[in-house]
A and B are shown apart, each in its own frame.
Chain A
Amino acid sequence: MNHRGGYSADTRIRWPEWLPWLVALAAFFLLPEYLSLGARILIYILYALSLDLILGYAGIITLGHSAYFGFGAYVAGVLAAKAGVTDPLVQLVAAAAGGALLGITTGAIILRTRGLTLLMLTLAITSVCLEIANKATALTGGADGLSGVVVAPILGLFKFDLYGKTAYLYCLAMLFVGWALVRRIIYSPFGASLTGLRENSIRMHAIGAPVYWRLVLVYTLSATIAGAAGALLTQTNQFVGLNVLGFEAGGELLVMLILGGVGRVYGAFVGPLVYLLAQDQLAKQFPAYWYFGIGVLLVLVVMFARGGILGIADQALAKLRSKA
């Protein structure tokens, strides 16, 4: 089941689409020891959704999406630890706004280019952000990271508890909002035009689409969501470090999304879930093999299973149906 959008798409929410939320709620009640991992998964799903919007739908290949996530993370962190702004919703909105600002300025500049040049520029941007975060130690804590992030109770009512319950539900709620937004965009005429941009941008020019501005707009939207996700990470960990920025972080997110399946909304759910769960279990026991395994998996996915896990599931379902 693909969420491709378009002018004849059925936009009703099908029952399998409620599964992720049911699973998330079930996990809340049944797996209370895993809530911090759970919150992390929820955050990365939101982050991966933002990347899917530009990569899977608009076809913008970027290695530097971590710039916006990291920027949002640091905005929230700096506000909380240095500026005394402790209200989590204010931090969240500020981080999202920061992501939007960085997104629109960098997007407007780099989206005039394509191909390798664009890829290179996305990498350069996240590297610049990493370098700034590394050097501006007074503000960001540099290589040691920024601790002392104070997060007040949400709406004055829900305190961030030690078990991570509040954090988990908070992230779940934000993911829901983000998901609803992304789903709406994908099914809208704007979303349909994104697919056109990815498929054939020459044709898009020839039908009178303002290609550049569409790309800038979706890039900005994506950066906004990524920035919000970054804030969530800072708030749940009450810490932000350099590992949210740079090529390695951007590469990891790309792996998560590809693993799940790109350009189909729920790939962004499956990918981070599988990746982070596996990382939690395997990376602790066999740290040397973890990166190796991910690398091999990525190569295999590219060679044989371009659609990721959901792509394989699609093929399996199709085989089952043809046999029935």
Chain B
Amino acid sequence: MQSFLASIVSVAFHGAAFGMILYVISVGLSITMGLMGFANLAHGVFAMAGGYVLTTAISRFGVPFPLALVCAFAAVALGSVVLERLLYSRLYTAGDLEQVLFTIGLIFIAVAVARFVYGTLQKPVMLPPYLKGQFALLGRDFPAYRVFIIAFSAVMIVALWFGIERTRWGAMVRAAVDNRAMAQSVGIDTRRLFTLTFALGSGLAGLGGALGADIIAIQPTYPFENLVYFLIVVAVGGLGSLRGPFAAALLIGVADTACKYWLPQFGAFFIYLATIGILLWRPAGLFGRRS
């Protein structure tokens, strides 16, 4: 019984860490899909890029870990602005198929570049010494880095929610998600809003990818392998919503960890089945707005 309880705690803990990372990565996708109506399947590319920036910054340039995280965020955010201005913005009015194809093309390009520059193996995770080892919490030992992930993500999430709820930018985002035409007619510059929000969402994805390299391995096929998870979080949580994907991400994180721990022979099977079930029951997601 003791060890069963212990494994529940362990699953919950690791599941929460996974879920937090999923959320940090996917929240940007939810906002941009709700805001721009653009299905950016290439979102995983930004997360992967963040992971590679972190690795390169630490191992090639000896940048300390905290600064490297900031670099991951900034570099990906900046890169996404360039992509958005040059390419994405031309397709806002295009059909669904065009958007899907375009983003798949981006994935192919990113995967090829990653393979070329970094090779096909997974990037090893280089943690600073103060984040290695165990961390004692309530009489149990947990991997320090995972504790850090949970704590840091929580802070990021609170800051994000605060930003959306309290700042003017956040108000504009909420207005535009709710009714884009209306937002434009009250003078909100939706173009700049899109770019800014896209940059923030992509930057967060990069940060999440970098932070979560321990959980979701950084390798060239990252955008292909993990797209399903990011999409599940957004689809189940509800497009354009903030809280929905959070609940979905935690749910998926814990459920996936639990399944992989107790029923490893089934792998992600149940997650996919559950996703199918949830989407059939609530096509707009658990917290999505029913149109």
Q: Mark B24-59, 1 if CB is under 8 A from A, else 0.
A: 000000000100000100000000000000000000
Q: Mark A245-269, 1 if CB is under 8 A from B, else 0.
A: 0111001001100100010000000
Interface flag for B61 (CB, 8 Å): no
Known: A117-B279, A131-B272. A295 touches B112 (CB 8 A): yes
Interface residues of A in 227-260 (CB under 8 A from B): 246-248, 251, 254-255, 258
Known: A61-B96, A113-B279, A127-B228. A298 touches B266 (CB 8 A): no
A–B pairs, 27, beta carbons within 8 Å: A61-B97, A113-B279, A113-B280, A116-B235, A117-B284, A120-B279, A121-B280, A123-B228, A124-B276, A127-B272, A131-B266, A135-B266, A135-B269, A246-B224, A247-B224, A251-B107, A251-B108, A251-B224, A288-B116, A291-B109, A292-B113, A293-B112, A295-B105, A295-B108, A298-B108, A299-B106, A302-B101
Contact of A248 among B101, B224, B265, B269 (CB under 8 A): B224
Chain B at the A interface: mostly helix, strand, loop or mixed? helix
Interface flag for B251 (CB, 8 Å): no
Interface flag for B170 (CB, 8 Å): no
List A contacts of B98 (CB < 8 A).
Answer: 302, 306
List B contacts of A289 (CB < 8 A).
Answer: 112
| 7 new A-B contacts at CB < 8 Å, known A119-B39, A131-B266 | A124-B232, A125-B272, A127-B228, A291-B115, A292-B108, A294-B105, A295-B105
Interface flag for B231 (CB, 8 Å): yes
Interface flag for B149 (CB, 8 Å): no
Known: A134-B267, A254-B104, A295-B112. A120 touches B231 (CB 8 A): yes
List B contacts of A116 (CB < 8 A).
Answer: 33, 39, 235, 239
List A contacts of B148 (CB < 8 A).
Answer: none
A254 to B275, CA, bound (A): 24
Interface flag for B154 (CB, 8 Å): no
Q: Mark A262-299, 1 if CB is under 8 A from B, else 0.
A: 10000000000000000000000000111111111111
Contact-size category for A:
35 or more
Interface flag for A90 (CB, 8 Å): no
State whether A288 touches B112 (Cβ < 8 A).
Answer: yes
Interface residues of A in 107-127 (CB under 8 A from B): 109-110, 112-113, 115-117, 119-121, 123-125, 127
Interface residues of B (CB under 8 A from A): 33, 39, 87, 90-91, 94, 96-98, 100-102, 104-113, 115-116, 221, 224, 227-228, 231-232, 235, 239, 265-269, 272-273, 275-276, 279-280, 283-284
Interface flag for A1 (CB, 8 Å): no
Interface residues of A in 54-78 (CB under 8 A from B): 55, 61, 63
List A contacts of B105 (CB < 8 A).
Answer: 255, 294-299, 302
